[in-house]
Each structure stands twice: as C-alpha cells, then as structure tokens.
Chains A and B, each alone.
Chain A
C-alpha cells in the first residue's frame, strides 16, 4: 500500500478510535467467554459438589447440566452479537476511513 495512504489512515483519529472500539469489544466478549468457561472449569476442579447438586429436590438433573448447555448457547449468542456489531457499525466506518484516505 502506498506510504501516503498508510500515513493518512494512521493519522486519522476515526481509525484510531475504531480500532480501539473493535478491540475492546473483542476482548470484552473473549473475557466473558473465558469467565463463563473457566468459572465452570474451576467449579469442576474445586466445588464439584455444588456443580453436581440436583437443580430441584425431585430431579436427578445436576446444576452443571443447564450451566454447560447455557455456556454453549451463550457462545452462539456472543458470536452473533460480535458479527452484528461488526457488520452494521464497524464496517461502514472502516469503509469511510479507507475512502477518505484513497480519494
């Protein structure tokens, strides 16, 4: 890419802001996944009794089961949130930034 376009994009405050926003969203969502998953993992490791306690007194279903399935479903939802946000908010701004630098 020509040096002039590169420096134009780099010095565009919109670009710096966009990268920061997109990175922040990515890291926050990653953090949510890690907290859910390692929370689950730490319960397996240190409090298995809580994790495997039945969800109701007349049920054999352990608490870990809805939690595990919940993590799977949340993973799908979070990927959906990221894709929606990136497609509808970030991509148009990035397109503008590139157009401004190349015209």
Chain B
C-alpha cells in the first residue's frame, strides 16, 4: 500500500512537471507563426485552462482516495460492488454521454436540423431494452465482465476469447474516436497546446485514474462529469430559450428563417443533400438500438452495484438522465443555428458560408456557450467537454483492461488459476498499456478519416456482443460451437462489409463504387448471426453440448433468484 502511495505521488509530481513543461512550451509557441497570414496569436484561454485544472485536481484527489481503498480484484474491477443504483445511474450516463453525443449531436442538428433527433432517439432506446432483458440477470450471473455471463455454462477458452475480441475491437475503436475528438477539441480551444500534447495529457491522466483508482475512481470521475455535463447543458438550453422568449415555436421558426436550407432542416430524414435510402435508415436504427445494449464498458458497470435491485434502478436513472440530455442537445443545436451561424466572430467567412465555423464541424455547442455567457461560460463548457472525454476514455480503458486481464489472461491463458494478486497486477499493467496505446493511436489517427468509427463500434456491439449475450441468457439450447461461430460471424461480417462499404471502400481506400452499398451492415449481419448460432447449436450433438444444455437450469435459477450472485464487499 505504501509503495503504491509513493508511486502515485511520484507519478502525480511527474505529471505536474510535464504540465509545467507544456506550459513553457506554450509560451514558446505563442510567438509569431512562421507561415500564414500575419495575425495576432490567439489569447490563452485561461478560463478553460483553470477550470480544467480544477477538475483534474479534484479527480486526482479522488483517485488517491480510491487507491487507498482498492485492495481486492472486486475493488479494482467493480468498485467493491458498493455503488448505489442512483450513483451507478449517473455514472452510466457519464460513461455513455460522450463528446460525440454532446458536440456531435449538436453539430448534426446545426447542419441538418431534424436529422439529429434520429440519432438521439436511437441512442436512447437501447437503454430500456437493456433493463427489460439483461440488466438484472447480468448482475446475478457475472463477476467483472459480460464475458463471465456468456461463458457461465459454455467452454471458457473458445467462447471467452471470442467475447473478449468483440469487446476489445469495440473498446479500441471507440477509444480512437474519443481521442481524436479530444486532441482536436483541446487544440482548437487552447491553440498553444498542440494536438500531440493534448493526446498525451489525456493518456497520462487516464493511466493515473484507472491504474491506481480502478473502477472506484472511474465511477466518481464519471459521476462528476455527468453532473457537470447535465448542469452545463441545462444552462445552455436555458440561455437559448431565454434568447427566444421561452418559445419553442419562435426558436424553430427563427432557425428555419436563418438556416441557408430553410424549411429543409425540418424535413431532413437523411443528412441534407444525401439521397433517402430506406434500407440504410432501417439498418441505422437496428445498429443504434442494439449497439447501445452491447457496449462492453456500459455492461461492465452492472457489476459495480450491490445487487440486482440496484442494477435495475441504475438503468432507470441513466435512461432519464440521458433522455433529458438528448432533448437538451437538440435545443442546443437549434440554438446554435440562431445564435452562432452568420456571426463573423465564429464563422470562417460569412460572405461565403454562414454555417462553416472556425475550428471545424464540432464547434457549434462550444461557440453557443460563448454567445450565451462570454469567455467565462465558454471556458466552463470547454472544460466540461474535456472532462466528458476523460470520463468516457476511463470507462473504455477499464473495459479494455478487464477484457485483457480477466478474460484473456486469467480465464483463457491461466485457465482461471491465477491468484487475485496476479490478476490485479496484470490488469494494472493492461491499464498502463492501454494508456500508452491510446497515446500512440490518438497521434497515429490525427489526420485519418474516422467517419466509420461509430458504424464499426456499434455494428460489432449490435451484431456480436448483444445477440450472443441475450442468447446465452435466454436460450438454453445455445452451445459453445453456436456461440463461437455466431460471434465470429458478427465480428468478421461487420468488419468485412464495412471495408467494402461506401465510407471505407470508396472514400478512404478510393477503390471505386462500394461492393456493399450501405454504411451500416447490421440489417444483414444481425439476422445472419442469429441463424448461424441457432443452426450450429441445434445440430451440435456432442457430449459437451448436451451438458451445456443441461446446465441451463442452474444458470436460469441463479439469473432469476440471485442466489449465488457475487456479494458486495464489506469495507
């Protein structure tokens, strides 16, 4: 314990040293740029920096506190299973409301109007499905990861490997999307900090939170972030409504009058300018609803609560928080049309395009905060956006590290025989590895087109993680062979069709017209996974398959009653 404290102190001080170096680098960078038009260097955004430093300070203190209490594997992976339903509801909301949903949905609405709501609705409806189908049973059956549940009565090696691969692909790509967003955001807001330095700061903070504080620190980072984000978004929506005399009718008609596409923003069922495509719309719908229900970092949070009752309540709270938040982002997006578009201070060139903003497509919500509350509020919202990224990346790192250490190392490689100490050690090493990987990937993907990331992560979650989880819980006939072949069908089917789809094949690889003409492959892959898992399972006449079917009764009993479920640790 003492060692850890010293290690933590030295890491914190080295992080501070690093921050100081960044600060001195910043002053060097503020000198006149060698190229480009001669313009005054942008002033340092001290509001954003100071609020961000306060957030980091508080969260590092929490990490220090959590590290002192994190002893066992259950502490590390599952916060000692002592999280209440309300706390977990907020933490899940904090885990899920990413910068993509805050800045991204506001930006989608800003550009396309109504179309943004389709994403909000799709990203929310997965939550009630999680509650009605898997939430309590997940808590009753599992220990640390959703793979625990899938392998409850199936063979550890092959099934867990498949489930861990599914989890890792989702986590790593989700991570890349978050990091590229974080680097660009921080660099835009505080131009004195370069993209690479931004990514490195994120990577180091994540390593500190997760390696030392485990799930406990992650949970509190997510709770604080959820509170800040909900509070900040509420103030922004109120600012918009105050500007519009608290009339939604006025807000929407002003937006229609100001937006260059006018009434088209109320008729956009696809991005403005794109051709309507019914099959793509349906496939997107399937991907959003079932993808949400298959995200490993969300499913992992169910093991942190005391019992199945708290698991249940936490989904109710998170659904309400997230639903409320999505309604706010919709108001924020329309508010940005009215209060940000066509304003020369935010727009690149108002004479050419009144929508194109300085700093890129994700900026409408950020500038709206400036239009409402000046530099101070912009600083606050910028710090909130950054806190959002840190919280989501912490959750992803936790999920990725547990897939590596608990699933692959402890259960597959060591066949469930490592000591708890060994397992926790490996998971801490995995966290550090993930932090380093995050920095490398974040920098490697700086200039890459990452437009396919949402489709990739949500497709694999919707086509592999979620259907295999549901089958393993509800269908006694599922066998090891069925789960493995079904799962790999989902993983390789999604990846394969995405590669030959329009975004990757045509836009990124420039190979000409796409072989598979849809961005979201779920409508093909999901039914295929179910068919493969079914046919392979029912035709499996092996002795082990027979035993697996027989073991379903005991699994069902534990899932329904909670007898034998992992108990909350007593501290």
Chain A residues in contact with chain B, CB under 8 A? 1, 5-6, 9-10, 15, 19, 22, 25-27, 29-30, 33-34, 36-38, 40-42, 44-46, 48, 51-52, 54, 59-62, 64-65, 68-69, 71-73, 75-76, 78-80, 82-83, 86-87, 91, 94, 97-98
Q: In the complex, A62 Cα to B114 Cα: how many Å?
A: 8
Interface size of B by Cβ–Cβ distance < 8 Å? 53
Contact (Cβ within 8 A) B323 A75: yes
Task: Check if B133 is an interface residue, CB within 8 A of chain A.
Answer: yes
- The CA-CA distance from A42 to B285 in the complex, in Å, is 9
Residue contact B309 to A91, C-beta cutoff 8 Å:
yes
Chain A proximity mask over B533-562: 1 for CB below 8 Å, otherwise 0: 000000000000000000001100110111
Interface centre among A9, A72, A86 (most CB of B within 10 A): A72
A67 to B554, CA, bound (A): 43
| Residue with the greatest number of chain A CB neighbours at <10 A, chosen from B129, B248, B284 | B129
Query: CA–CA, A69 to B328, complex, Å?
Result: 11
- State A98–B132 Cα separation when bound (angstroms): 22
Which residues on A sit within 8 Å (CB–CB) of B560? 15, 19, 22, 94
Q: Enumerate chain A residues within 8 angstroms of B269, measured Cβ to Cβ.
A: 44, 48, 51-52, 64
Closest CB of chain B to A96's CB: distance in Å? Answer: 12
Distance (Å) between the CB of A78 and the closest chain B CB? 5
Known: A44-B281, A75-B127, A79-B320. A52 touches B267 (CB 8 A): yes
Q: B100 contacts the other chain (Cβ, under 8 Å)?
A: no
Chain B residue with minimal CB distance to A94?
B561
Chain B nearest CB, measured from A83 CB (Å): 5
Q: By the criterion CB–CB under 8 Å, are B120 and A68 in contact?
A: yes
Q: How far is the CB of A24 from chain B (nearest CB, A)?
A: 11
State whether the Cβ of B252 lies closer than 8 Å to any Cβ in chain A.
Answer: yes
Q: With a CB–CB cut-off of 8 A, which chain B residues contact A75?
A: 124-125, 127-128, 319, 323
Of B276, B312, B319, which one neighbours A48 at CB under 8 angstroms? B276
**In the complex where A26-B132, A37-B121, A83-B313 touch, is A52 in contact with B564 (Cβ < 8 A)?**
no
Contacts of A64 in B (CB 8 A): 114, 117, 269
- Residues on B with beta carbons closer than 8 Å to the beta carbon of A1: 554, 557-558, 563-564
Q: Are A79 and B128 in contact (CB under 8 A)?
A: yes
A29 & B128 in contact (Cβ 8 Å cutoff)? yes
- Determine whether B282 belongs to the interface, using a CB cutoff of 8 Å to chain A: yes
B122 nearest CB neighbor, chain A only? A37
> Do A61 and B252 touch across chains, with their CB atoms under 8 A apart?
yes
A64-B114, A75-B323, A97-B561 known; A46-B278 Cβ under 8 A: yes
A78 to B278, CA, bound (A): 28
A-B contact pairs, 11 of them (CB 8 A): A10-B553, A26-B133, A61-B248, A61-B249, A64-B114, A64-B269, A69-B117, A72-B124, A75-B127, A76-B319, A76-B320
Expressed in whole angstroms, the Cα–Cα distance for A61 and B114 within the complex equals: 9
Across-interface contacts of B133 in A (CB, < 8 A): 26, 30
In the bound complex, how far is the Cα of B330 from the Cα of A5, in angstroms?
A: 53
Closest-by-CB residue of A relative to B266 is A62
Residue of B nearest to A74 (CB): B128
